[in-house]
Structure formats: structure tokens, C-alpha cells
Amino acid sequence: MHKPNKGWLELFRTYPLATILGVNAIIIFTFTLLGEAILRATLPYRIDYYTGVTAPNRTIQYPFGTITINRYGYPDTEFDLTDMRPRIGYVGDSVTYGIGAGQGFRVSDLIENCMSIYQHMTFGMVKHDITDIDRFVEELRPFSLKTVVYLMNLNDILPDQRNDTPLLPTVAALVRETVDSMRSKSYIYNYFRTRIKEGLMRHGYGHNGYEAIELFPSNNDPSIRSFVTRINAVAEKFQKQEIKFCIVMLPYEMQISKSAEEVYKSLGIRWDETFLDRGTQKRILNYLRSDIEVLDGYYAFIGPNDTVRSRSMNKIGQYFVYDKGDKLDWNHPNRIGHQYLATYILKERFCGLGI
């Protein structure tokens, strides 16, 4: 008969708590390694798709491409402030930055290739939110821009009362500041993070923990109006500096694709009855100042008189990132999507751009 190991028994008698903790730690560590191995082999997406890896020469390498960060901290090659050509600055969020496309394939890069009479500067996600009006405008002042093109993502719209610090956004911010560096390092952390995020999205919340106002425009008209009021104030600030301010409204994939609508609906994502028919964009257009030049990017993908046919032909993942990383992603155009947007901007000669 097998006899218990006397060394372990003696250890347990002498240090019972430490022994129990040690054994449990070994078990947890073993199962963690096993879980990491299983998820590494079975997860259908890249956990580093949205985070990338820092590389030499101030570059970040992503699965979709590379993005250079210049000495000013913006996602572009070095700005030449001695260049006397008129300067166009592109601002926005991660779409402008180039998530899903990479440098050289973004709207700003593609327009730059066709419009060399201007110096094009991609600012992407500036340090100060566009609705932080004074600091946003001041941040761009040193670059002596003649034109600012704002690529407006619909999830830029946030609730009015941001000073209330509701629980979910507070927790989301705390996670980002503390443990979220594990997102691209641990498959287990990434797996549970993704499941929680998707659960929140099914209940109508965005990536930042705030309600996804853009998906429910009928119930959130006051918040949309408040957001646009701040955009109008930004435009007025630029106007006083003799800087042209233009807006490109970016669509969500389920708006321009019937198959995307069906897939995301099957995953439990909800929106109101007006959203697919540009309900959010229509409200934005209604409240924007009439002297702001604005282009609806929806029509880069949809024929103006053939909506049903265009939506049925546009397949999920054709123009937008789909199932590549650790999130349900209906707002990041891929390289083809950026190409369509840039082509539409140039075709419409929007904001003085055109060939």
C-alpha cells in the first residue's frame, strides 16, 4: 500500500496555512498555463490587433500595418514646419489614427497622394477631446493650419452630464489605467475582458462604459444636440482664426451593409428603428451650423438612389474590420473602406479637396 510522503505531512503539520496556500498557488498556476495554452490555440482572433507592438524608429507594428509616431506625438511622419504649402490637419479618433488600415492607407494618406499642393498632417486622436473646446483649438495652433478635417465617429457622442462619473465609465477607466496592459499579453485576461465588453455592448453600452447614444438617437436627442453645440463652438473658434473647419461623418457598418445588420443583430446588438436610416447623422446635420461644410460618409458606400441594393451587396467585413481582434467592431473601416471614403471626398471636392 502507498504511504503518504512524510515530508509533505511534516511540512503541513509545521506550516499548515503556508502549505495550503502553496499547493493552491501551484494548482492555480498550472490551470492558468493550461488555459493560456488552450486559448492561444483556439481563439479565432489576434489579441494584439488593437494594441500593436512598439518597434524601432518610433513605430508601432500592428497586424494590419505600421504606424509612425512623430516627435510631436502624432501618428504621422515628421511635420516640416518650414514647408510653406497650405496645411491640412486631420483629427478624430482611432479611425483617423489608422486602426484597421495602417499608415499609408488611411483617408489622410490617400488624399495626400492626390493633393500634393497641400501639406497633410494626421493628428488622429489629439491629446484633448474635440469637445474640450479651448484646449483642443490651442493644441493645434502651433501648426498654423489652414484647414481642419474632422473625421467624426458616431461614438464621439457622449452623454451630457459627464461630471456625474457614473459607475461603468469609472470602472472602465480604472481598468484601463491598472490591469489593461494585460490585454495583449494574457489570453485568459483577454478572453474574459472580451466577453464582458460584448455583454455590455448587448445591453447598449459603448467601449468607454457610457451608453451608446449613437445607436438610440430617438431617445437621446438632447445629448446629440449638446454634442453638436460643442462642435459648433469649435467651428466658431477656428473661424475666428481664419481656419476652415470641415466634418466627414463616418457610418457604422450595419448602416451600410444588410449582412452586417443581420450578423450583429444575431449577436444581440440593439439599436432603435431610426438608426439604420442614418437617424443619428440626420440629427447631427439638423443641429450643425449651416456654414460648416459637412460630408456624410454613408454615401461613400451607398448609392444615393439605390439604398436597398447597395446594402444587400455590401458584405460584412468588406469595407470594415470584422472578426480580426478582441471586440465587436462596426466602426473601423479597413483599407478598402478608407479608399472608398477618400475617393468620395475627392469626387465631391469636399473642403476644397478634389482632382
Instruction: Quote the pLDDT of residue 112.
Output: 97
Instruction: Quote the pLDDT of residue 237.
Output: 95
Looking at residues 65-78, what average pLDDT do you find? 96
Of 8-12, 56-60, 132-136, 177-181, which range is least confident?
A: 8-12
Tens of pLDDT along 295-348? Answer: 999 999 999 888 999 999 999 999 999 999 999 999 999 999 999 999 999 999
What nine digits make up the cell of 63?
Answer: 497586424
What nine digits make up the cell of 113?
Answer: 497622394
Phi, psi for 259 (deg, rounded to 5): -65, -35
3 state SS of 244? strand
pLDDT category of residue 355 using cuts at 50, 70 and 90: low
Contact status, residue 338 vs residue 110, Cβ threshold 8 Å: yes
Instruction: Quote the pLDDT of residue 141.
Output: 93
Highest mean pLDDT out of 128-142, 178-192, 246-260? 246-260
Tens of pLDDT along 242-293? Answer: 999 999 999 999 999 999 999 999 999 999 999 999 999 999 999 999 999 9
**Residue 263 burial class via C-beta count within 10 angstroms: exposed 0-12, middle 13-18, buried 19 and up:** buried
Please list the alpha-helical segments (H only) found in 125-251. Answer: 133-140, 167-178, 187-202, 221-240
Tens of pLDDT along 192-219? Answer: 999 999 999 999 988 778 889 999 999 9
Instruction: Quote the pLDDT of residue 9.
Output: 66
Q: Which amino acid, residue 54?
A: T
∠ CA 148-252-244 to the nearest 5 degrees? Answer: 10
The pTM for the full model equals: 0.89
Measured torsion, CA atoms of residues 317, 318, 320, 323, in degrees rounded to the nearest 10: 20
Phi, psi for 181 (deg, rounded to 5): -65, -15
Contact status, residue 141 vs residue 243, Cβ threshold 8 Å: no
pLDDT category of residue 134 using cuts at 50, 70 and 90: confident
Looking at residues 179-198, what average pLDDT do you find? 91
Work out the mean pLDDT of the chain and round it to a whole number: 90
Highest mean pLDDT out of 121-135, 138-152, 166-180? 138-152
Looking at residues 9-25, what average pLDDT do you find? 72
Q: Is the pLDDT of residue 122 over 70?
A: yes
pLDDT category of residue 114 using cuts at 50, 70 and 90: very high
Per-residue H/E/C for 43-97: CCCCCCCCCCEEECCCEEEECCEEEECCCCCCCCCCCCCCCCCCEEEEECCHHHH
Phi, psi for 185 (deg, rounded to 5): -115, -35
Provide the CA 252 distance to its chain's centre, in angstroms. Answer: 11
Q: Which amino acid, residue 325?
A: G
Instruction: Quote the pLDDT of residue 84.
Output: 95
Q: Is the pLDDT of residue 6 over 60?
A: no
Q: Is the pLDDT of residue 125 over 80?
A: no
Residue that wins the pLDDT comparison between 16 and 120: 120
Task: Give me the residue label for grid cell 500593436.
Answer: 52
Please list the alpha-helical segments (H only) found in 208-334. Answer: 221-240, 253-256, 258-266, 279-287, 307-313
pLDDT category of residue 126 using cuts at 50, 70 and 90: low
Instruction: Quote the pLDDT of residue 338.
Output: 99
Instruction: Quote the pLDDT of residue 208.
Output: 78
Looking at residues 127-151, what average pLDDT do you find? 88
Instruction: Quote the pLDDT of residue 28.
Output: 84
Instruction: Quote the pLDDT of residue 354.
Output: 72
Instruction: Quote the pLDDT of residue 7.
Output: 64
